[in-house]
Amino acid sequence: MASSRALLILCFSAIVFLKITSGQSIANVSTICLLASNSAVFVFGDSIFDSGNNNYINTIVHLLSNYQPYGQTFFKFPTGRFSDGRIIPDFIAEFAKLPLLPPYLYPGIYDDHYIYGVNFASSGAGALAETSQGTVIDLGTQASNFIKVSQQLKNKLGEGKAKSLISRAVFIFSLVGNDYVTPVSPTNSTVVLPYPPQEMVDVVTGNITIAIQKIYKEGGRKFALMNAAPFSCFPLLRRNGSSISSCQEEEAALLARLHNHVLPQKLQKLQEQLTEIKYTVFDFYNALLQLMKYPSNYGFQEGEVACCGGGPYRGDYSCGGKRGIEEYELCENVNDYVYFDSVHPTEASAQHFANLMWAGTGNFTHPYNLKQLFEY
């Protein structure tokens, strides 16, 4: 099979010939070339993946990052990403030779861009509709928004080309953090899970599989999911001074491990029903723990304390004056840090995770890495 690069060269070499012999416009033929050589990326998730959708909804200040010092490195201004710069989907798009994927709600987006994909993620969102209800775009709504985009692609490209684009696209997910962390976060005075732990994990993973089924019905075939992080080890939830060993035994991390046990079982069962589906799971839990425990092995200096924030481990919700807390600390060299704020990776650690997702071995990505999934 010819490589994507060879297909692209061949396709564009034909543009002049087609223009002369058939009268097709160069714009039309160029679109066909792009469809033949690139796999689109559609992004679903929470603040780890949100590229700015929350800028355009009525939400609370804790779920916004459209103010300094967010965005200070790569973009030089806040974009709505919870990072000093780029986030994981930005690097995935770069590896796939795609432009940065805009937020779905960005008012300047046009149908033409959907051939590359788009970002539906919303900071604070979960797989459960009741997680941060009324202030975010939950997973079910994100899946419904994709169905709208699918219809727009059919209207623009025709049924056949749209179906081809969607079947070759990769759908990436980062969810469940808010489902498991929100009930135990410092902003809640009492810890009340909406369901008993096993039932809650079953409902959360069930909602994820329902979203995948909706996308599959629209023609989606390739899915990449991040598993649950060791949430209790985030700076946000370690303000009691817990060690990396002890934080893994606290409630949010226990829920994460239970989730990570159940999710592959649900996906395997789903594959038995949807025979054309291909999926991979990135082990975010252990990849993050490795960075926290041994930061110097990966080019970092600090794996536990956030670059931006206040309080122990800089784990307060205080990165940026807009949050109503005027005083916060900001590190001198953000590239030394794994965490930018109390929950979210720096651009440097986001790139590290994206590299593992894209070309990692079975230690962190199973059964495929993203590069293999794109090429499938």
pLDDT at position 192 is 66
**Would you state the pLDDT for residue 33?**
58
Question: Quick check: 235 and 247 in contact, CB under 8 A?
Answer: no
Q: Compute the distance between CA of residue 49 and CA of residue 138 in angstroms, rounded to an integer.
A: 13
For the question of residue 352 being annotated catalytic, the response is no
Candidate CATH numbers 3.40.50, 3.90.1580, 3.40.630, 3.80.10; the one for domain 39-292+345-375? 3.40.50
Q: Is 322 exposed, middle or buried (CB count within 10 Å of its CB: 0-12, 13-18, 19+)?
A: middle
Phi-psi region of 68 (alpha: psi -120 to 50; beta: other; left: phi over 0): beta
Exactly one of 37, 47, 123, 132 is catalytic; name it: 47
Q: Say what the pLDDT of residue 320 is.
A: 87
Q: Active-site residue among 150, 344, 349, 352?
A: 344
- Count Cβ atoms within 10 A of the Cβ of residue 244 and give its class: 0-12 exposed, 13-18 middle, 19 or more buried: middle
Total residue length of the chain: 376
**pLDDT the model gives residue 240:** 74
For residue 38, the Cα-to-chain-centroid distance in whole angstroms is 20
Q: Residue 5: count other Cβ atoms within 10 Å of its Cβ.
A: 10
Q: Which of the residues 341, 342, 349, 352 is marked catalytic?
A: 341
| Residue 202 token pair | 């079953």
**What average pLDDT values come out for the chain (376 residues) when binned by 10 residues?**
46 48 47 65 98 96 94 97 98 97 91 92 96 93 98 95 97 95 67 82 97 98 98 90 91 95 97 97 98 98 97 90 73 98 97 97 93 94
Q: Does the annotation count 366 as an active-site position? A: no
User: Domain residue spans in the chain?
Assistant: 1-37, 39-292+345-375
CA 36 to chain centre: 25
- pLDDT at residue number 134: 87
Distance CA 375, CA 201 (A): 32
Instruction: Write down the pLDDT at residue 14.
Output: 46
d(CA 230, CA 1): 41
Residue 47 designated active-site: yes
CB 37 within 8 A of CB 13: no
